[in-house]
Amino acid sequence: MIENMKAFMQNKSIDNENIPFVQVRHDAGGNMMHLQVCSLLVEGNRDYGYADKFSVPPVVADSIRAYAETEGLLYDSLASDSKVYIREPFVNFFKWDDGVQMVINSKWCGYDKQFNADGGFILDMPVERFGGLILHLDAVGMLTTKKGKRYIGGEEE
């Protein structure tokens, strides 16, 4: 756990240790996405919570970069002093009857013709790859359970 929680929270612009949040690196390189889950009271693979880096479709990475360029509000990394992260509600996580998905809200960046869903992107999170992250999100109350099947794009069945 973090030794001086009050100083850490102040340095990282964290208002309330009881409310976990996700932040996404504005440019993780190429078609990569890097996220940090700040949970503070529930340790994961980092002392501040959980971190993961994974590949995404290029348009998703481009969209994240475009947001950072247009909005300009970046926060410190939870692991360093670099201001390179966008905070929620940029990304949300949903558990459906048949899988888990990440929803990236990116309606503001001009990539609207390339979205796979209304107002952003929906990405599957296979448990084989994202099991640790899914368990952590669930443990800190950031995984919203929904009834029914996950969104698969295209026409409704």
pLDDT tens-digit series, residues 51-61? 999 999 888 88
Residue 57 sits in which domain range? Answer: 5-144
The rounded distance, in Å, linking the Cα atoms of 91 and 36 is 11
pTM of the model: 0.88
**Residue found under tokens 């940029």:** 90
User: Kind and range of the H or E element at 94?
Assistant: strand 91-96
Nearest to 98 by CA among 157, 152, 153, 154: 152
Q: Is residue 119 part of a domain?
A: yes
Q: What DSSP state is assigned to residue 24?
A: E
Inform me whether the pLDDT recorded for 156 exceeds 50: no
128-137 pLDDT, tens digit each: 999 999 999 9
Q: Is residue 157 part of a domain?
A: no
Q: Is residue 103 part of a domain?
A: yes
Nearest to 124 by CA among 102, 157, 144, 154: 102
Count of structural domains within the chain:
1
The rounded distance, in Å, linking the Cα atoms of 48 and 41 is 8
Q: Is residue 13 part of a domain?
A: yes
Q: Is residue 153 part of a domain?
A: no
